[in-house]
Amino acid sequence: MGIIQKRQDMFIKQLYTGCLSEAAYYIDSDGEAAIIDPLRDIDSYLQLAKERNTTIKYIFETHFHADFVSGHLDLSKATGAPIIYGPRTETQFPIHLAKDGEIFRLGDCTIEVLHTPGHTLESSCYLVKEAGGKPHAIFTGDTLFVGDVGRPDLSSGNLTKEELAGMLYDSLHSKIMPLPEDVVIYPAHGPGSSCGKNLGPNTYSTVKDEKEGNYALKDQTKEEFIKAVTDGLGAPPSYFPINARINKEGYESLDEVLQNGLTPLDISAFKKMIAAEDVILLDTRQAPLFTQGFIPGAISIGLDGRFAEWAGSLLSFEKAIVLVATEGEEKESVVRLARVGFDKIKGYLKGGFPAWQKAGEPIDMIIDVEADELAMDIPFDEKLMVVDVRRETEFADGHVKGALNLPLNDLVDPGSMTDLEEQFNIYLHCGGGYRSIIAASLLKRQGIHNLRNVVGGWGKIKDQKGIEIEKENSVLN
């Protein structure tokens, strides 16, 4: 759940969600609490306040999040606490629009609003000061990460990413870098997040450490900074604009989403549901279970990986979803879909895949092979095709000679699969095995069945004798 910091005058807890690389925060002092950047499922915040016998007084948002749906509305409804955004924020629901430098008292402490535009126009940080007024910690949202800064190309209005990057430079130099070096930095994201280019391995830091180790805070001109933070930006996940809009406009209560999504469907009702054209059949079981057997047409996105991020990137928000889940994981599946804005979940298969199998309904499966089998087949199979679904930069850093690179993000478009024909013997892999199963399920839906999944992916292939490896230096340079 993240780190805990206890002091005589305050208590801070970072509530970290690994599959989204997201950090929300709980702060309390003398019986009063504040939540910063809450997720849509708010029970953990309410429970923590109950355990610590505090009243949630404020809900602070650092900006309009693009990678998840915030819990601000449901949490405000449950507690009566106001939702606080920084300057230049426009919403379709009531908020407290804070001024730059505005002070909020929390027990013996204070929280100061620092408007830091750059990642987005309304981006703001929150500086927590001790009872005596000494700055202690700053909650930086997506303005400053460990080892990185927020990308300036997600929510620009009429501004270019270069113009926003220039604003970010000014924000960092005027608001954060002058702070005492022992001030603790608590960002909204950790490693793996697509809100920056390459976040560091830790989920908190200090001003001193970031000045010494963050490429964006080194001594450089504004022009050099702009080039550094805008170079090498890949396309953001396709669902980011959708989530940013939801956070700005509002959304359906999570309780209503759960009520619909947790509807158990017997075999007959389930078959009628998935027969509809605009329904997505989503299987959230772990990848090894999926390969052994699944309902034809199902898309595999396992709860054991970066589930919400891949769901948001690959699935349509306009279509209804019905679930196949491991028994007992139906609620987690619905909650994690709701975190990235999926509200049209119509139920789940009662009894899961075992019930489908027991009923004698048709099933499909994916053949798993080890890396040594791939090595043995390459020299003798003229129709063999290795399909690598890792990102372009991962592929460029080393891949099987002659492999076709089809990044998983691109497989949402059926046109990306035109190079794959049933005449080929396809060996599919990613980095470790999670993404390749998703890709296999998507290819199966497009009628491509002559495929095998390489267990362990590139992690196993790169060390396998007999497989020739090459790099794409033009991409890496």
For 82-129, write each residue's pLDDT tens digit: 999 999 999 999 999 999 999 999 999 999 999 999 999 999 999 999
Pairing of strands 55-60, 32-36: parallel
Is 313's pLDDT higher than 90?
yes
Let me know the angle formed at the C-alpha of 182 by 62 and 2, rounded to the nearest 5 degrees.
55
Q: Please provide the average confidence, as pLDDT, over all residues in the chain.
A: 94
Per-residue pLDDT, 144: 98
Pairing of strands 124-129, 135-141: antiparallel
Mean pLDDT, rounded, for 2-29: 91
The residue among 301, 295, 300 whose CA lies nearest residue 273 is: 295
d(CA 437, CA 103) in angstroms, rounded, equals 50
Per-residue pLDDT, 12: 97
Mean pLDDT, rounded, for 133-162: 92
pLDDT interval class at 221 (50, 70, 90): very high
Residue 163 class from Cβ within 10 Å (0-12 exposed, 13-18 middle, 19+ buried)? middle
Is 156's pLDDT higher than 70?
no
pLDDT interval class at 423 (50, 70, 90): confident
The residue among 218, 223, 235, 207 whose CA lies nearest residue 163 is: 223
pLDDT interval class at 3 (50, 70, 90): confident
pLDDT interval class at 422 (50, 70, 90): low
pLDDT interval class at 412 (50, 70, 90): confident
d(CA 118, CA 195) in angstroms, rounded, equals 13
pLDDT in tens, 362-391: 999 999 999 999 999 999 888 999 999 999
For helices 222-230 and 161-171, give the axis angle rounded to 10 degrees: 120
Per-residue pLDDT, 2: 66
pLDDT in tens, 251-294: 999 999 999 999 999 999 999 999 987 899 999 999 999 999 99
Per-residue pLDDT, 417: 61
